[in-house]
Amino acid sequence: MMKETQDKSSDEYQRLTWDALRKSINGLVNKVNATNIKNIVPELFAENLIRGRGLFCRSCMKSQMASPSFTDVFAALVTVVNTKFPEVGDLLLRRIVLQLKRAYKRNDKPQLLAAVKFIAHLVNQQVAHEIIALELLTVLLEYPTDDSVEVAVGFVTECGSLLQDLSPKCLHVSVGCCLQGYPVVCPELDLVEEDDQLTHEISLQDEIDPEITLDIFKPDPQYLENEKRYEELKKSILGEESEDEEGSDAGSSDEEEDEEEDECDEEDEEQMKIKDETETNLVNLRRTIYLTIMSSVDFEEAGHRLLKIKLDPGQESGENIPSVLWSSGVTVLHDQQNALPWHVLAYIRLTEEDTTSSSQIFIKILFQELSEHLGIRRLNEWLSDPTMQDSFESIFPRDNPKNT
């Protein structure tokens, strides 16, 4: 579709590139971890983070909320981006503070815990000034309750080491004791030199503009000029080699890819020595397959990237890859103009015996994405279409009351 659009300044072309940018940023943010973050960062800078700064912040916050245990990884990713684009770090911090204030006001504990943890790690990475940490502790402990004390203790546990070094007296006054907490930043996530760190000062008392309109597509009258400007920025960040990826240096880049694959193979072998009893690797594989498809521009790129996914022994037969393929395919039905038929939903039988809690959550997220892309009314029209009922027979079983 993008190739068919000749006018690159047209609204249609800009919308297509916006959708591709959103998918790519979401895919990269969702698959980042402590091991691959150094590889993800260049890929992320290759995307237009000025145009997509709202998308990046939104993706980071959603991913952190869904996986709080990876908060330090997301904070490290933001830290690196912040060194080149401080407006992105500032926007994210403002949105997190706003999320915290709303959660505190509504007594929404899960949202509050997520926001507090994110702020703690941004303080550790010196993206956020420590003054907000002390201010937050004062608010939580001014009129203490069981929940507020629990949140405060968790917060100090995450960033207490840094506060102990920077403001021991203030920490003692706020908490009443000096908690050492975890190490400030683990070595694999300590990616930015101290001189390159850019710290933002923000108060809980500030009036905050989250700039939500940045998350929504709007035609840019200077689209071509701004894209060209970002290309120049990208070259200065990534180095001149990036522009020769498809040129005469293809051979050397292939050698680098081979070296990277060899390193990945060694890492995979090390990881395989540990027996996974919790099926974490299986869940991560499903997640990788899904995100690979969702972040690909077209089916050719998706197929090429899927072939590069490394499978652990036993996963070739143990992972039901078609089930992930149909779920990813259905999500892009709207974007790709019904590129896949709806009967791919027949791959799953939604009953207590045929699903697990994790697969049920996966299906829930799938339909949330469908409703977001298609709209509730449009989705309901599809699901209510009499000619489509064969496709939905297994996912909405009616064979007995229990399954229904």
Q: How far apart are CA 56 and CA 21, in angstroms?
A: 10
pLDDT, tens digit only, all 404 positions of the chain:
455 556 788 999 999 999 999 999 999 999 999 999 999 999 999 999 999 999 999 999 999 999 999 999 999 999 999 999 999 999 999 999 999 999 999 989 999 999 999 999 999 999 998 888 888 988 888 888 888 888 988 888 888 777 776 655 555 545 554 444 555 688 889 899 888 888 998 888 888 999 999 999 999 999 999 999 999 999 999 885 444 444 444 444 455 555 555 555 555 545 444 444 445 566 666 667 766 666 666 666 777 777 777 766 665 544 555 555 544 444 444 444 454 567 677 777 788 777 776 677 777 777 777 777 778 888 888 888 888 777 777 778 877 777 76
- And the tokens for 46? 């290759």
Decide: 394 and 346 in contact? Cβ < 8 Å: yes
User: What's residue 263's pLDDT?
Assistant: 56
Q: How far apart are CA 120 and CA 115, in angstroms?
A: 9
Could you give the angle at the alpha carbon of 172 between the alpha carbons of 74 and 121, nearest 5°?
Answer: 0
Distances (CA, A) of 181 to 72, 154, 155, 242: 14, 9, 9, 41
pLDDT score of 340: 56
Q: What's the angle, vertex CA 200, arms to CA 59 and CA 77, rounded to 5? A: 35
Backbone CA torsion sign across 227, 233, 236, 238: negative
Round to whole Å and give the CA distance between 404 and 395: 10
Integer Cα distance of 93 and 81 in angstroms: 13
CA 226 to centroid of chain Cα atoms: 25
pLDDT, position 296: 62
Given a contact cutoff of 8 angstroms between Cβ atoms, the answer to whether 16 and 219 are in contact is: no
Cβ–Cβ under 8 Å, residues 363 and 328: no
Buried b (16+ CB within 10 A) or exposed e, 241-256: eeeeeeeeeeeeeeee
Tokens of 234: 């990208």
The pLDDT of residue 243: 46
Q: What is the pLDDT of residue 357?
A: 67
**CATH assignment of 11-215?**
1.25.40.180
Q: Which residues contact 302 (CB under 8 A, 6 or more apart)?
A: 292, 293, 296
Query: What's residue 3's pLDDT?
Result: 52
| Contact between residue 180 and residue 200 where contact means Cβ atoms under 8 Å apart | no
Q: What is the pLDDT of residue 279?
A: 53
What pLDDT is attached to residue 299?
Answer: 65
391 vs 383: CA distance, rounded Å? 9
Domain chopping of the chain, boundaries: 11-215, 276-404
Segment (H or E) for 152 = helix 146-166
